[in-house]
């Protein structure tokens, strides 16, 4: 009897262990396909909406993501009308300065090392003083290694450099052509002012005030056959970023868009031919559409991350409301792509050549 009782006890123990193992296995399986979520009864199937799936995937992907480099488009207003613009002037909203600083501090506390201010045209609001105060705050208070700006250059005055230049590491000026007529066709112009003359003037100011000078160019149907090598080599920027014209639904494509950029779009082959023609320019850094969509962390004027993966800009909640960790789950950010394009590199004044 004692022997039979012992065997029965062992059998019950084995059955219990087997049952526990099966429960764990089933729980693991059903969690992957969206069953058995918290709050559901045993064996109840819950449908997973596309939004829920996107959030779950975002949380998993960005659980360990650090917002090392952030692009803050704090204004949508611009004085140019570039036909391919994919961050158009749908609103005139700009955060109060204190709120913008609070958001930048949250980003710094989450690991931000590089901030890039853009628009719209960032020098347009408050004649550049709002931008200058943000630049000062990021360098002097947050002590960020790298602070940069992307601008069309039309609103920049030398007195801005005199007041804020010590705290700026990089200034990138957008220039799509070295032919004034082409710039007029694209919309990168204001009246009869020479965009190219202004570019050269800003380049000299950057040298004088020890700010690294960059050039950004969007390659499209109007400039794809242009040879820019001689002009780029003469200006000698630290980098020449060359972008492929990108369509974003609701911005420069689609019924609700303020721009119709379809006529500016070029093929991947045409983009590659342009790059091959400029292979002798050592500072050239190409940015394809794939890299543009996935490898940038973009904040809009409300400090919401913008997810561009689906060919449109889907906003997160503002980091001012939910924090950086929660908002970044909606960013669509691909850290592997970011690292692949050299995203960990942070440029600062300390890296600049001594002769500057």
Give ∠ CA 239-172-70 in degrees, rounded to 5: 95
Catalytic residue among 85, 175, 308, 329: 85
What pLDDT is attached to residue 288? 76
In the chain, what percentage of residues exceed pLDDT 70? 66
Dump pLDDT digits (tens) for 144-196. Answer: 999 999 999 999 999 999 999 999 999 999 999 999 999 999 988 888 889 99
Q: How confident is the model at residue 303 (pLDDT cuts 50, 70, 90)?
A: very high
d(CA 258, CA 276): 33
* Confidence at residue 246, expressed as pLDDT on a 0 to 100 scale: 80
Catalytic annotation on 329?
A: no
* Model pLDDT, residue 43: 38
* In contact, 186 and 220? CB cutoff 8 Å: yes
Tell me how far CA of residue 250 lies from CA of 258, 309, 314, in angstroms.
8, 14, 10
Please give the structure tokens belonging to residue 56.
């779950």
Report phi then psi at 259, rounded to 5.
-125, 160
Flag whether pLDDT at 21 surpasses 50: yes
Catalytic one of 78, 203, 206, 329: 78
When the pLDDT of each residue in the chain is averaged and rounded to a whole number, the result is: 79
Q: What is the average pLDDT across 311-327?
A: 87
Report which listed range, 241-245, 306-310, 311-315, is most confident.
Answer: 241-245
Catalytic status, residue 206? no
Rounded to a whole number of angstroms, the CA Rg of the chain reads: 26
Question: Which residue is catalytic, options 82, 138, 206, 245?
Answer: 82
- Reference 115, options 101, 133, 129, 135; nearest CA is 135
pLDDT at 4: 52
pLDDT tens figures, 199-213: 999 999 999 999 999
Phi, psi of 122 (to 5 degrees): -65, -25
Residues whose CB is less than 8 angstroms from the CB of residue 351 and which lie 6 or more positions away in sequence, other chains included: 212
For residue 17, the model assigns a pLDDT of: 53
E strands along 100-187, which residues? 114-118, 146-151, 170-174
Respond yes or no on whether the N-terminal peptide bond of residue 120 is cis (omega within 30° of 0).
Answer: yes
Predicted local confidence at residue 197, as pLDDT: 95
Is there a contact between 247 and 203 (Cβ–Cβ < 8 Å)?
no
Please report the pLDDT score of residue 262 as a whole number: 81
DSSP-derived 3-state class of residue 353: coil
Catalytic residue status for 78: yes
Nearest alpha-carbon partner for 324 in 37, 81, 80, 110: 110
């Amino acid at each position: 009897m004692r022997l039979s009782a012992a065997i029965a006890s062992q059998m019950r123990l084995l059955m219990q262990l087997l049952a526990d193992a099966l429960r764990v296995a089933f729980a693991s399986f059903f969690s992957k396909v969206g069953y058995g979520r918290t709050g559901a009864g045993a064996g109840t199937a819950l449908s997973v909406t596309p939004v829920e799936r996107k959030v779950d995937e975002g949380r998993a992907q960005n659980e360990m993501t650090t917002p090392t480099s952030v692009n803050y488009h704090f204004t949508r207003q611009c004085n140019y009308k570039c036909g391919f613009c994919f961050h158009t002037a749908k609103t005139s909203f700009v955060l109060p300065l204190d709120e913008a600083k609070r958001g930048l501090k949250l980003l710094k506390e989450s690991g931000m090392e590089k901030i890039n201010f853009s628009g719209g045209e960032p020098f347009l609001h408050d004649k550049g003083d709002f931008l200058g105060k943000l630049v000062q705050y990021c360098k002097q208070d947050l002590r960020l290694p790298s602070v940069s700006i992307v601008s069309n250059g039309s609103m920049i005055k030398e007195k801005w450099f005199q007041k804020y230049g010590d705290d700026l590491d990089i200034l990138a000026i957008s220039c799509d052509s070295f032919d004034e007529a082409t710039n007029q066709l694209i919309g990168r112009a204001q009246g009869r002012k020479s965009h190219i003359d202004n570019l050269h003037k800003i380049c000299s100011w950057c040298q004088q005030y020890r700010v690294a000078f960059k050039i950004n160019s969007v390659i499209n149907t109007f400039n794809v056959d242009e040879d820019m090598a001689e002009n780029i080599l003469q200006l000698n920027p630290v980098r020449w970023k060359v972008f492929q014209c990108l369509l974003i639904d609701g911005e420069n494509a689609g019924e609700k868009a303020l721009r119709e950029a379809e006529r500016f779009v070029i093929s991947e082959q045409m983009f590659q031919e342009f790059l091959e023609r400029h292979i002798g320019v050592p500072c050239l850094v190409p940015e394809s559409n794939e890299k543009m969509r996935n490898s940038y962390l973009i904040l809009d004027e409300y400090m919401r991350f913008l997810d561009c993966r689906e060919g449109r800009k889907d906003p997160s909640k503002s980091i001012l409301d939910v924090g950086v960790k929660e908002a970044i789950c909606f960013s669509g950010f691909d850290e592997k792509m970011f690292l692949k394009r050299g995203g960990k590199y942070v440029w600062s004044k300390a890296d600049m050549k001594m002769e500057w």
